[in-house]
Structures are given as structure tokens and as C-alpha cells.
């Protein structure tokens, strides 16, 4: 069978490994790269080559950073008393793009997912507990932990697991902080007709005074 020239084929094969990119898309992207100025390709190649060496995890919140501590944790304007627990850096970015949150984060880098053999010890849950303990031992005030895992089954299970761990931590150490979870309800701009009944039930149960 006919195959693409070696270099182009290698690129297509690599791109095929990325999530959501099938064989045809990988080929199309590889061809598209041929239209990009060589200078930009060289820059891109260099970034790729340096990626792992340069990009580390923040020692406090496990966000990606090129320093020891990420720019959010370094930012003096951010409220260190509120920690939002998210599954991934993509989720963190969603809040940052909106600019709707002024606290800090804790990135779990995954969720508890027994079907894929990911247990609590495989994500940064223990690091969260250690972080809170350390902070409170240093008399830093932590007022609230917001559990912002996804509203799917694994995200729920992860939130519940962390909640229990946090409750225990509070009890055993006499700590006090609020534990909260993002609200469920109708997405803004959505149509009732297309909402699933679980969402509708949650929207009913959590209805607000108006």
C-alpha cells in the first residue's frame, strides 16, 4: 500500500496519538504544516523539544509553571484563604478566562476513576491535605475549600471523597473552614426543552428566592 513520505508520515503518526485526532485529521494537519513558514515551524519544534524540561508543576497548587511556584500562587492580590480544587489545568483556565475567581487553586490532575484504575492516591488529594495542614499550622487562614470537580459520576465521587477527608481533617485538628461545591442548575442561555431531567431536578431542588 502507498505510504506518505517518511517525515510527513512520522508527523501524522505522532498527531494521531493526540486526543480527538483520527487518521484523516492527522494527515490533513500534517499537510497543513507544509503551508506554514519554516521559521514558525522551527520555533514550534524548539518549543516542543524544550517542553518537558521547561514546564514543571507548581510546588503549591500543581498548576503548570516554569518556576517553582506558579504565577497565581505568587500573585499577592490573590486570596490565599480560598482554594478551589479542580481536576485539570484546563478547568483552571476556564475560571481564569472569565476572571470570575480571585482565590487560588489546587489541581488534582485527574479524578477518581476505578474503571480506569485511577484511585485517590493517583491524584493530588493527599497533597491537598498536606497543603492545608501546613498552611493552618503556619497560622495562615484558610476560610473555604471549593470543590470544583466536574458534575459527572467520577467528578462527584472525587468531590465526595475529598469532602470526607476534609471533614476528618477538620475534626482531628480542630480546624475550621467552609467546604463548598459548585452549584448545579440550568446553564445560562440554555433551553429548558433540552435540559436532562437530572439537571432539571437539581435546578428545582436548589431554586433560589427571586
What are the residues binding its own copies (CB under 8 A)?
1-8, 10-11, 14, 17-20, 24-25, 27-29, 31-34, 36, 38, 40-55, 64-66, 70-72, 88-90, 93, 96-97, 99
Which residue bears the cell 479542580? 86
Q: How far is the CB of 90 from its own copies (least distance, A)?
A: 6
What are residue 83's DSSP bridge partners? 104, 145
Q: How far is the CB of 151 from its own copies (least distance, A)?
A: 18
Q: How far is the CB of 22 from its own copies (least distance, A)?
A: 11
DSSP state of 9: H
Q: Residue 21 to residues 30, 48, 136, 175: CA-CA distances in angstroms?
A: 12, 18, 45, 47
Taking each helix axis as running N to C, give the angle between helix 125-137 and helix 153-173, from 0 to 180 degrees, rounded to the nearest 10. Answer: 30
Which CB sits closer to its own copies, 42 or 126? 42
Which CB sits closer to its own copies, 40 or 167? 40
Q: How far is the CB of 54 from its own copies (least distance, A)?
A: 4
| Chain center to CA of 28 | 29
Which CB sits closer to its own copies, 2 or 210? 2
- Note whether 100 and 139 are within 8 A (CB): no
Which CB sits closer to its own copies, 95 or 175? 95
Amino acid at each position: 500500500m502507498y505510504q506518505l513520505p517518511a517525515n510527513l508520515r512520522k508527523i501524522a503518526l505522532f498527531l494521531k496519538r493526540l486526543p480527538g485526532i483520527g487518521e484523516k485529521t492527522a494527515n490533513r494537519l500534517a499537510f497543513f504544516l507544509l503551508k506554514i513558514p519554516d521559521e514558525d515551524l522551527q520555533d514550534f519544534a524548539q518549543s516542543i523539544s524544550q517542553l518537558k524540561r521547561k514546564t514543571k508543576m507548581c510546588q503549591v497548587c500543581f498548576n503548570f509553571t516554569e518556576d517553582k511556584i506558579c504565577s497565581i500562587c505568587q500573585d499577592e492580590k490573590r486570596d490565599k484563604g480560598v482554594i478551589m480544587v479542580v481536576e485539570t489545568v484546563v478547568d483552571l483556565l476556564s475560571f481564569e478566562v472569565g476572571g470570575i475567581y480571585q482565590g487560588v487553586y489546587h489541581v488534582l490532575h485527574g479524578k477518581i476513576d476505578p474503571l480506569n484504575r485511577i484511585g485517590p492516591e493517583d491524584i493530588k488529594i493527599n497533597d491537598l491535605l498536606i497543603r492545608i495542614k501546613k498552611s493552618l499550622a503556619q497560622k495562615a487562614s484558610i476560610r473555604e475549600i471549593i470543590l470544583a470537580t466536574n458534575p459527572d459520576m467520577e467528578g462527584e465521587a472525587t468531590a465526595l471523597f475529598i469532602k470526607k477527608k476534609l471533614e476528618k481533617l477538620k475534626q482531628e485538628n480542630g480546624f475550621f473552614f467552609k467546604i463548598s461545591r459548585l452549584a448545579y442548575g440550568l446553564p445560562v442561555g440554555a433551553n429548558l426543552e433540552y435540559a436532562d431531567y437530572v439537571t432539571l431536578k437539581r435546578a428545582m431542588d436548589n431554586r433560589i428566592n427571586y
